Amino acid sequence: MNEPVSEMPDRRELNREELFPIREVARVTGINPVTLRAWERRYGLIQPTRTESGHRLYSQADIDEVRNILAWIERGVAVSKVGRILARDQLLREQIPAGQRAVEQDEWSEWQARIRQAVRGFDDRQLDQLYGQVFASYPLVVVFEGILLPLWRELSLNQASFGQTSEWLFLDTFLRARTLQRLQAMRHQGQEFNVILVGLPQQCVELELHVAGLLLGCVEVGIQLLAVGQPLEELGLICDKVAPAALVIYSNHPPAVHLPKYLDKLALALSCPLLLAGGLSDMLHDQLEGRRIVRLGGDGRLMQRRLQQYLAGHLDS
C-alpha cells in the first residue's frame, strides 16, 4: 500500500541518522513520489530504508543516486537500462574500502558546498581560488568526476527557480575556460602519440568533451580537440592531414539505431584506428563486440590507461 505523500514518519525515527521522507526527496530532486516508487519497484534503482510503520526514508546517498539516474535519463538513456550503468559504477566504487569512500564523499560534499556558495554569489575570484585549492588536494580524475561534474550536472538539472539558470551558466563558463587552458597546457612537442578527440554531433557538450580530453591525455599522449559539432563525414580529411595515432569519438548519450553500422564504415575509411569513449562505448558493448572499433569505456580512471595500452600495443604490432 502506497504511503500518502502528506504523511510524515515519527520525528524520533528521523533522529537516528540523517534520513529524509519521500516528500522532501521529491522537493529537492524535482522527481514526484509516484516516479520514485516506480524506480524502486519496477527497476530496483533505489532501495530506501523503511520504518516499522512502512514509511520510506532516503539517505543523502539515495538522493545523489536519484540525481545520477535523472542525469542519465536526461541524456536519453531509457530508465530500464540505467540499472546496468549504475551496477558498473558500483563495481568500480566497491574496489575502494567502504570507510575510505565515506570519508571521501564527505570531503567532496564539503568542497561542492563551498563551490556552490561561490557560484550563488557569482564570485569569480572565490571560485578561482577554490578551483586551485581542490586541484592541490586531489588528482584530476577526482576533481572532475567526484566533485566538479556532479555539481555542474546538479545545477544543470535544477533551473526552475529564478536565478538558477544564471548560476549554472556562470559555473559552466568558468569551467569551460579553465579546462581549455589546461588542455592547451598539456600539449607540447615531443609527445609520443597525437590523438584526435571529437564529440558525437548533437550528443556532446563542450565541457564534457574538455574533461574527456584531460582524462585521456598524459605526458606521452597529446590530445587534439576538435570543435563541438564537427561533421563526422569530414573526419577522414582531417586524419589524412594530421596523421594522428588514433581518433577518439566521445559521447555519453545512447546511440541512434544506425550508429554502429555508420561507425563501422567510418573505421574502414579512416587512415588511423577509431576508438570510442564515454558512456556510449559501454552502451554499445554488445553491438561492437568483435568489430574494428576499440572501446575505452566511460570511467575516467580507466580511459587513459586503456588508451595508453592500446597505443603501445598498436605501435608494437
Residue keyed to cell 574500502: 97
pLDDT digits 0-9 by tens, 187-245: 877 788 999 999 998 888 899 999 999 999 988 889 999 999 899 999 999 999 999 99
List every span in the chain annotated with CATH 1.10.1240: 98-183
Which positions ≥6 away from 30 have C-beta within 8 Å? 70, 157, 158, 160
List every span in the chain annotated with CATH 3.40.50.280: 188-316
Domain 188-316 fold is Rossmann fold (3.40.50)
User: Which CATH number describes the domain made up of 98-183?
Assistant: 1.10.1240
Domain 11-91 fold is Multidrug-efflux Transporter Regulator; Chain: A; Domain 2 (1.10.1660)
pLDDT-based confidence at 29, cuts 50/70/90? confident
Quickly list DSSP for 41-65.
HTT-----EE-TT--EEE-HHHHHH
- Nearest C-alpha neighbor of 249 from the set 271, 273, 276: 276
DSSP bridge pairs for 275: 248, 294
Q: Is 317 exposed, middle or buried (0-12, 13-18, 19+ CB in 10 A)?
A: exposed
Give the residue-averaged pLDDT of 161-176.
95
Global pTM exceeds 0.85: no
Cβ neighbours of 72 (radius 10 Å): 19
Structure confidence at residue 259 (pLDDT): 86
Strand pairing class (274-277; 246-250): parallel
* d(C-alpha 250, C-alpha 208), whole Å: 9
